[in-house]
Amino acid sequence: MDGYNYLNTKNHTIAILAFNAHDITMDVLKRTYKNNPDSKILLFDNGSSPSFEKLITNLDIEYYREEKNIYVNPAWNKIFDLTNTSYLTILNNDCFVISKDYFPSAIKYMEENNILLSSCKTMSFKSTKFLKFDTYLNRFYSYKKINFIENARRQGWLMTLNLNEYKKLNYKIPDYLKIWYGDDWIWGQVRSNKKKAGVFKNYFCGHVKSYSTLNPDIQHIINDDIEALKKYGDWYQKISHLIHTYKCKALKMKHI
């Protein structure tokens, strides 16, 4: 990384969307804040009760709050418009980036290879206990030689976008989708427009799957999304093979 300061004007935002789950959200937020001093951090409080406002007083971050839960996809649409940096990462509030220097390395590679959207290898865990071994995990799963799989399956827990280029597409997730299929829309827009998107297999993050369990109170919203997709979702059928079919097509590897 000598001689290359990709974020000398903080040109990257990491946005964390939170609805309650205060403990794990703060764990993700504090780790992200500590490990990424050259990135802007945005916490989007999606109607949590209580709010996160009193929990973040010692963090130099951007904070935005909705008084009521507007659900995931409308919140992501707002994040697209709230962000004023060239690059945006949408990070789940139950997803921990393990690989050191992931964002500087990934964004540098994205810039050099005209990549619009990227993610990294993700493994699911039942709890945050895996963080006790993050040094070992970083050493075992992360390595310097870039291994970017351009046609990997889409991943929604962590997505980094060249936001300037993405907003040239039909970037807003349709209003009829509230919780599900937002990441499908994003990946579908990129790939259907023949832009580069894929997954870094040499970088690693851990997802705590127990925190993604669907709340029964919002199951009817999920059902509405499923029915809406059946009614309006011709686009999904057209792009499904582009985002769910895994092809091991790797870009030229580089050392950084």
H-run or E-run covering 92:
strand 87-92
Q: Which domains does the chain have, with CATH numbers?
A: 12-250 (3.90.550.10)
Contacts of residues 192-196 at CB distance under 8 Å and 24 or more positions apart, as own/partner, are 192/238, 192/239, 192/242, 193/169, 195/116, 195/117, 195/165, 195/169, 196/113, 196/114, 196/115, 196/116, 196/117, 196/150, 196/251
Span of 5-9, 101-105, 122-126 with lowest mean pLDDT: 5-9
Q: Closest Cα to residue 94, out of 53, 59, 50, 127?
A: 127
Q: How many Cβ atoms sit within 10 Å of the Cβ of residue 254?
A: 13
pLDDT in tens, 211-252: 544 577 788 999 999 999 999 999 999 999 999 875 544 333
What element of type H or E holds 44?
strand 40-46
Strands 12-18, 87-92: pairing kind = parallel
Q: What are the residue ranges of helices labelled H in the chain?
A: 22-35, 72-82, 102-112, 134-141, 163-166, 182-192, 219-232, 234-244
More confident residue, 139 or 198: 198
Per the CB < 8 A criterion, the answer to whether 178 and 186 are in contact is no
Q: Which residue has the higher pLDDT, 45 or 129?
A: 45
Say what the pLDDT of residue 214 is.
57
State phi, psi for 202 to the nearest 5 degrees. Answer: -95, 0
Nearest partner of 128 among 57, 23, 40, judged by Cα: 23
- Give the phi and the psi of residue 171 in degrees, each rounded to 5: -80, -25
Task: Please determine, for residue 131, whether its predicted confidence score (pLDDT) is greater than 90.
Answer: no
Q: What is the pLDDT of residue 246?
A: 53
For 146-207, the DSSP string reads: --EEEEPPP--SEEEEEHHHHTTS--SPPTT-SSSSHHHHHHHHHHHTT-EEEEEEEEEEEE
The sign of the dihedral angle between the CA atoms of 244, 248, 252, 255 is positive
Give pLDDT tens digits for 192-215. Answer: 999 999 999 999 899 997 654 457
Two structure tokens written together for 129: 């206990």
Q: Residue 6 has what pLDDT?
A: 43
Tell me the per-residue pLDDT of 8-52, one tens digit each, with 9 for 90 and over.
458 999 999 999 999 999 999 999 999 999 999 999 999 999 999
Q: Provide the token pair at 22.
A: 């205060």
pTM of the model as a whole? 0.90
Confidence of residue 141 (pLDDT cuts 50, 70, 90): low
Please measure the distance between the N-terminal and C-terminal CA atoms of the chain and give it in whole angstroms: 6
Taking the alpha carbons of 238, 242, 245, 247 in that order, is the dihedral positive or negative? positive
